[in-house]
């Protein structure tokens, strides 16, 4: 099964253009399946729907939540569909599998007051203040994913019209609006700070480290957390929280859900609809708090 797993991962990378993190997630699922089949002495050609259902049942017993089980089921469906299409199997045993309903968990958000507190706490004149202020302003202004922000290059910015061209999931490119405050912060960083960070090996990446190299996702996460701590915000702050806040505040302001879907780069409107639940949750909380019979 190892050879088939390797071929499938190459297919995801080269033909589907899926991210390294997604490839790793699929690899972990397939490795777990291979280990489970090995213990049972079941070769890949003998795998049927019953075996896959038993594997998923064991994963559930091991503590996998509904969302993770749903993702594992998707991995199995795509893998066995690929095997059947390649003629490696006579039929697709994963096709009848039903995905468990994912838990309806609402994304965390920050109140606009907390966002302002976070951004205003960064002193642009301090060391790396211009860079870090630009990073956080851009996260909140445009709702970028962490990978999208880290992949930004200078040539992707249109300062005149206030847009970014970003590459998102599946190597899909979209145009994203940037607010004037975020643009001002980026221009300040590019004019007064980035030139001092540039070295001979510096690429055209927008955000770079003190060594002149592109910032890694882990480093950007660290920057966001450090800045939140310095701002005196006790809540766990991470880049995706700013993306959630971006979408939620747009919806609260009256933005159309389809527009928010396009700005976030969601392929399916159902993914964006989670923010309508957030808005209803907020309205319910306000009603309960302020109405005499709430």
> Which residues are identified as catalytic?
145, 169, 240, 243, 266, 275
CA distance linking residue 219 with residue 212, whole number of Å: 14
Q: And the tokens for 100?
A: 């468990």
Residue 256's φ and ψ, nearest 5 degrees, are: -70, 140
Strands (DSSP E) contained in the chain are 157-158, 163-167, 173-177
CA distance linking residue 223 with residue 136, whole number of Å: 9
Residue 177's φ and ψ, nearest 5 degrees, are: -75, 140
With a CB cutoff of 8 Å and minimum separation 6, the contacts of 46 are: none
- The strand order across the sheet containing 163-167 reads 157-158, 163-167, 173-177
Residue 167 in 3-state DSSP? Answer: strand
Q: How far is CA 39 from CA 7, 34, 83, 210, in A?
A: 23, 9, 22, 50
């Amino acid at each position: 099964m190892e050879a088939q797993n390797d071929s499938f991962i190459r297919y995801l990378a080269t033909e589907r253009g899926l991210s390294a993190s997604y490839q790793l997630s699929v690899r972990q699922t397939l490795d777990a399946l291979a280990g489970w089949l090995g213990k049972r002495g079941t070769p890949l050609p003998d795998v049927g729907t019953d075996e896959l259902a038993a594997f998923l049942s064991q994963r559930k017993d091991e503590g996998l939540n509904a969302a993770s089980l749903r993702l594992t089921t998707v991995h199995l469906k795509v893998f066995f569909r690929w095997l059947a299409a390649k003629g490696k199997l006579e039929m697709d045993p994963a096709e009848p599998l039903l995905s468990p309903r994912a838990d309806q968990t609402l994304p965390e958000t920050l109140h606009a007051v907390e966002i302002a507190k976070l951004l205003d706490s960064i002193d642009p004149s301090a060391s790396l203040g211009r860079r870090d202020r630009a990073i956080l302003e851009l996260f909140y202004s445009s709702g970028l994913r962490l990978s999208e922000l880290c992949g930004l290059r200078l040539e992707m910015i249109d300062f005149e019209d206030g847009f970014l061209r970003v590459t998102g999931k599946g190597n899909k490119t979209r145009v994203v609006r940037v607010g004037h405050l975020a643009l001002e912060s980026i221009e300040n960083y590019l004019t007064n700070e980035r030139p001092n960070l540039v070295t001979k090996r510096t690429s055209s990446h927008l955000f770079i480290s003190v060594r002149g190299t592109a910032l890694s996702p882990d480093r950007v996460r660290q920057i966001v957390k450090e800045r939140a701590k310095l701002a005196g915000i006790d809540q766990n702050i991470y880049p995706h929280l700013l993306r959630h806040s971006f979408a939620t505040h747009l919806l609260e302001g009256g933005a159309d859900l389809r527009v928010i879907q396009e700005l976030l780069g969601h392929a399916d409107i159902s993914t964006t609809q989670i923010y309508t639940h957030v808005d209803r949750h907020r309205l319910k909380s306000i009603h309960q708090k302020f109405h005499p019979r709430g």
